[in-house]
Structure 1
Amino acid sequence: MTVSLQSSSRINKLQLKNRLVLAPMQQHQGTPDGHATDYHIRHYGQRAADVGLVLIESTAVSSEGRLYQDDIGIYSDSHIKPLNQVVKAVHDKDARVFIQLSHGGRKSKLLPGERLLAPSALAFNDEYGLPFEANDEELERIIDAYRKAALRSREAGFDGIELHAAHGYLLHQFLSPISNRRNDAFGGSENRRLQFVLQVAIAVREAVGPDYPVQIRLSATDYNSAGLFPQQVADIFNKLEPLLDAVHVSSGGLTPERPLDVHPGYQIPYAAILKSTTALPVIAVGGIHTKALAERVIAEKLADFIAIGRPMLEDPDFARRLLSKQPLPIQSVT
């Protein structure tokens, strides 16, 4: 059977009507205390009609883990009801919706009196400042924050969870040797650097049960020879795989270094590497903005889903137009 962008598929037991995903992008419209607003209901509702899955923006598991001071969060029971309205708006368009749970670590924007925490006391840059190396008690508190956020996510009606372990945020910081210089159970070897992320994944899985979709977003490369590289990230995911249902493959963000060449589909090879090592669904993202390229990725089994961000952010009808277009000349995948 020919598989296309229009083909239905599953993540865990969740049926998705097609393989098009709205990628998570910060909207900077949260209230000062982290609540979603009518803006989020409109924004996600307008973009849900023609995608199989909506991934809402990074949602903080604790106040000191917000990426920006206008981020939304799920660190209080009061956050549940506004987020449930977002869920309902997406469901009304016959799409499914995951929440992306995150903690910014050394890339957090703090309120007065909050502590900037990271695996090690290493700054991202001068703008964020020098973080504290999180102690065992603080790490346990963050793991518990993920557990409680997972429970609230289910209560809010989300169809699944994405753990944000990419783009230089806390979980990514633990995985990379560039940002994790600890010499305890959470640092040193690749296996020890994995342990904090593993504990978070265990806590989330135990909170939601085996049939509730939980996936992870990973940066496949740090764009730095001292950092993570794609095959290593594939090995990391394989160790987490028993706890997860899919992987969303991105890149970079751990340091201010950026890729030298950003062309259409520039991250597809990273998704393909992970796809070659797992039977779980793989989501590709990064400049896949034409139907021809998206269909080629699916047909050649380089990935199972296509996530699109900025074009859908700028045009609520982009997904409808993409799906209805006649085939265009095939773009190269490099």
Structure 2
Amino acid sequence: MGKVAVLGGGSLGLLLAGKLQATSGSDCELWTRTSNQADLLNLNGITLQDSGGCYSDRVHPVARSLDNVGSFGEGIVLLTVKQTALTSDFLERLAAIVPSGGMVVLFQNGIGHRELLREALPNRSLAVAVTTEGALRVDATTVRHTGSGETRIGVDDETDAKLLFSLERMLKQAGFSVFLSKQLEGAIMRKLLINAVINPLTAILRVRNGELAATSERLALMKALFQETYGILSDFGLDDETGLWNAVLQVCSATRDNESSMLQDVIAHKETEIEFINGAICRMASRQGKVAHWNETVTALVKAIY
């Protein structure tokens, strides 16, 4: 297949680029939003750590700042920046890099980004990815793999199946659990539900994922937010309430050492994705004529923090 580029030097971007580089060599590039991070990565490489923070590997993908990337040509771009980064200037730059017929795989949390990217990138092949991999960016060149999960990538009539099969093979060689799916909507709603419970509560309480379920009081908060959110998303095909609640607890356990992306943003005093997760659920509830008091509350609290 052609080249693979990872766009975004956050926790997930560093993890994907680092592990792909370890198995695919120079075929993988990492594009960052700042030239400073690109310079540091070209000098020091990416340091991969295991869940305990011990040194695992150091790899050296080619790093470029987004402003210094030319036309990408044939290949796949793994878009790992957060929804808050999808500004008009960013999308205009991405459209200049990815040629007509190019492929972009979207790794954003929440909902709404598919429609935004479809409008900004006409005549490109877009695929949505849903992942539960846990990663923590320690610094600009170091990432800790805090929990293994699953990655599901959607396949439809508009995507290049041959390219996605090649990407699936590369990601599996890099040690990820990957599945291609023609029915991804359920996985998107499932991930939205899990994020809507874990992300805001870890950000508000300032705890890691594993600590969220450590006390009866926190579990009660989780359950109340979960039940309200499930009641809204069940209109979009989600079922098996007990199984989904167990899935939330399982993600907390599997990524126990992880700081959610929302907690990382709060600590760094950055804008969070709350509007694209719990805020989006509030808007869905309004269209259904339902109340979403818990989602409204956590949305207001997280926004008040930053």
Q: Tell me, yes or no, whether TM beats 0.5.
A: no
TM bin, normalised by shorter chain, reads 0.3 to 0.5
TM-score normalised by the chain length of structure 1 = 0.32
